[in-house]
Amino acid sequence: MRLRDLREDSDITQAELAEHLHIRQNTYSQYENGQRQIPLALLIKLADFYHTSIDYLVGLTDVKTPYSRH
pLDDT of residue 42: 97
DSSP letters, 1-70, are --HHHHHHHTT--HHHHHHHHTS-HHHHHHHHTTSSPPPHHHHHHHHHHHTS-HHHHTTS-S--SPPPP-
- Over residues 16-69, the pLDDT tens digits come to 999 999 999 999 999 999 999 999 999 999 999 999 999 999 999 999 888 776
Domains of the chain as residue ranges with CATH: 3-57 (1.10.260.40)
pLDDT of residue 69: 67
pLDDT of residue 67: 77
pLDDT of residue 1: 81
Is pTM, for the whole model, over 0.95?
no
pLDDT of residue 48: 94
